[in-house]
A and B are shown apart, each in its own frame.
Chain A
Amino acid sequence: MNPDQKLDELLRDWTHRHAPDDTALRENLQRRLAGERFLQLADATPRPPALRWVTPLLTLASVAVLIVSGYIALNLHSTPLPPTLAALTPAELAARAEVYRGVKELFGDRLTGLDLSANRLQMSLVGDDPAEARAPARPLLVRLAALESDGHGGWRPLWQKEIVTLPQEVVRVPAADGAELLCWICPTADGKLVVDTQWQNGTARDETRVVTPGRPGELIRVGAGRCRIVQSIDWLPTDGTRSS
């Protein structure tokens, strides 16, 4: 038996030794559920049709304003597609932070990310479902680019994405031919970021890198090494200053 199997067995046995009193659990739950009946009925009560529409319309109007302001703000500070990815500048970070703050004011903790690629704005929101709840966290600006080998030692850009995301949220980037890039970023105590990258193209390839915020670098090579996915990631300033 290898050490992992033995460890797992130790843990399973320990859990069994701490098994709950099933009867007490069920009785308690039945009591709690009985007390919840009126809440379910209240939840199921349909809202008047007018109210159903007002919130989405207000939201749509607000988002339209934000899209315009986001477009303007991003255009002021957009860098061209780089042959090798440049570090994010303080002006770029400040502009994205401003857009993020505006959207966050509207959607609060339901906001998990923004896609700011190609001078447009797409939001990633979660619902009120408790399975989707997120803890408040400081956002990161993530710029990803795919570079393809030109066959002569150089690299030409294929695409670039720019996303504001929260730590430990999955970033999904659709690529050509049904491929998809997934990234997951987690801060570490020493100020670095662990970046898990998965390239899905029929099969999945994983790579984990520890990166320094603000310092661009390669995340993964795919397509038999002919394509590099590179990153530039930094914290969005919360008080108008760069803090990494």
Chain B
Amino acid sequence: MPNGAHEPADEELVRQFQTSGATADLEVLFGRHMTRVRQMIFPIVLNASDADDLAQEVFIRAARSLHDFRGEARFSTWLNRIAINTSLTFLRSRRRKPHFAGEEELAVQPAPHVSPSRAAAHGELDAAIESALARLAPELRAALTLTAIHGLKPAEAAASLGCLTATLYWRVHQARKLLRAELQDHLS
């Protein structure tokens, strides 16, 4: 039931924070997006603890840069982009591979070690999903996460990833094709 109270839009809260510097505005703003951002990072980095840490990192980076936010994109798109960049940078630094790897090379990577205890705790399906996702290039996982899991429209997902809409379609198509092959036993 509507309570009649005015819920300020994200961009309004940003403006208030830019004017006042009050962290109360920041806490309201970030509170709205905290779970969503963490759930966006998790399928990309595939580790709950890393996802929690990176989510914190994303909001700290956002807080430090919020005075430069000019509203050229929606706040959520801007935040998504920080989350995606932070996640991909984290994975790149962990991988310590040359920067010239292409999507086809990254699209099929060695399966990560999925421990028996983890598989038992989350079941065979979860282990299969995590293993299949880990074989995708991080860029493909990010595209799939934004569209298939979070339901972003292609244009917004592309803006969040900083790529063309055509690129987004291509990445999602590739990701789905590889996942369908990996998870065929669970999709029939």
Chains A and B bind each other? yes
Residues in A with CB closer than 8 Å to B15 are none
Residues in B with CB closer than 8 Å to A17 are 122, 126
Whether the pair A3, B180 counts as a contact (CB closer than 8 A) is yes
Select one of B81, B100, B169 contacting A131, CB under 8 A: B81
Residues in B with CB closer than 8 Å to A127 are 68
Whether the pair A33, B23 counts as a contact (CB closer than 8 A) is yes
Chain B binding site: helix, strand, loop or mixed by DSSP? helix
B45 to chain A, nearest CB (A): 12
Whether the pair A208, B187 counts as a contact (CB closer than 8 A) is no
Whether the pair B35, A25 counts as a contact (CB closer than 8 A) is yes
Whether the pair B99, A136 counts as a contact (CB closer than 8 A) is yes
* Residues A44 and B100 in contact in the complex (CB < 8 Å), given A28-B56, A188-B105: no
* Residues A198 and B165 in contact in the complex (CB < 8 Å), given A7-B180, A11-B43, A187-B100: yes
Whether the pair B48, A33 counts as a contact (CB closer than 8 A) is no
Residues in A with CB closer than 8 Å to B64 are 36, 39-40, 43, 130
Whether the pair A186, B102 counts as a contact (CB closer than 8 A) is yes
Residues in A with CB closer than 8 Å to B34 are 22, 25-26, 29
Q: What are 26 A-B pairs with beta-carbon distances under 8 A?
A: A3-B187, A4-B180, A11-B129, A11-B148, A15-B39, A15-B149, A18-B48, A20-B38, A20-B55, A25-B34, A25-B55, A30-B27, A32-B59, A33-B27, A33-B30, A34-B23, A36-B63, A131-B81, A133-B85, A167-B100, A167-B102, A170-B162, A184-B163, A189-B102, A194-B170, A198-B165
- Is B16 an interface residue when CB atoms closer than 8 A count as contact? no
Known: A25-B56, A127-B68, A188-B103. 15 other contacts (CB 8 A): A18-B42, A20-B38, A26-B31, A28-B56, A29-B27, A36-B60, A40-B67, A130-B62, A130-B65, A131-B78, A135-B88, A170-B162, A170-B164, A189-B102, A208-B170
Please report the total number of B residues contacting A with Cβ < 8 Å: 64
- Is A137 an interface residue when CB atoms closer than 8 A count as contact? yes
Whether the pair B167, A20 counts as a contact (CB closer than 8 A) is no
- Is B183 an interface residue when CB atoms closer than 8 A count as contact? yes
Whether the pair B68, A10 counts as a contact (CB closer than 8 A) is no
Residues in A with CB closer than 8 Å to B126 are 14, 17
A18 to B121, CA, bound (A): 12
- Is A190 an interface residue when CB atoms closer than 8 A count as contact? yes
Residues in B with CB closer than 8 Å to A24 are 52
Whether the pair A208, B166 counts as a contact (CB closer than 8 A) is yes
Which residues, 150 to 184 on A, are CB-close (under 8 Å) to B?
A: 167-168, 170, 182, 184
Can you name the residue of chain B whose Cβ is closest to the Cβ of A39? Answer: B64
Select one of A12, A131, A186, A196 contacting B65, CB under 8 A: A131
* Residues A138 and B31 in contact in the complex (CB < 8 Å), given A33-B63, A196-B170: no
Can you name the residue of chain B whose Cβ is closest to the Cβ of A166? Answer: B99
Contact with A along B88-125 (1 / 0, CB 8 A): 11001000000111111100000000000000001001
Whether the pair A43, B183 counts as a contact (CB closer than 8 A) is no
Most buried by A among B125, B144, B148: B148
Contact with A along B149-188 (1 / 0, CB 8 A): 1000000000000111111011000001001100100110
A132 to B70, CA, bound (A): 13
Whether the pair A189, B105 counts as a contact (CB closer than 8 A) is yes
* Residues A20 and B67 in contact in the complex (CB < 8 Å), given A7-B180, A130-B82, A204-B165: no
Whether the pair A196, B167 counts as a contact (CB closer than 8 A) is yes
Whether the pair B100, A137 counts as a contact (CB closer than 8 A) is yes
* Residues A184 and B38 in contact in the complex (CB < 8 Å), given A11-B144, A30-B27: no
Residues in B with CB closer than 8 Å to A28 are 52, 56
- Is B143 an interface residue when CB atoms closer than 8 A count as contact? no
A14 to B183, CA, bound (A): 13
A166 to chain B, nearest CB (A): 10
Can you name the residue of chain B whose Cβ is closest to the Cβ of A137? Answer: B99
Residues in B with CB closer than 8 Å to A239 are none
Whether the pair A44, B179 counts as a contact (CB closer than 8 A) is no
Residues in A with CB closer than 8 Å to B167 are 184, 186, 196
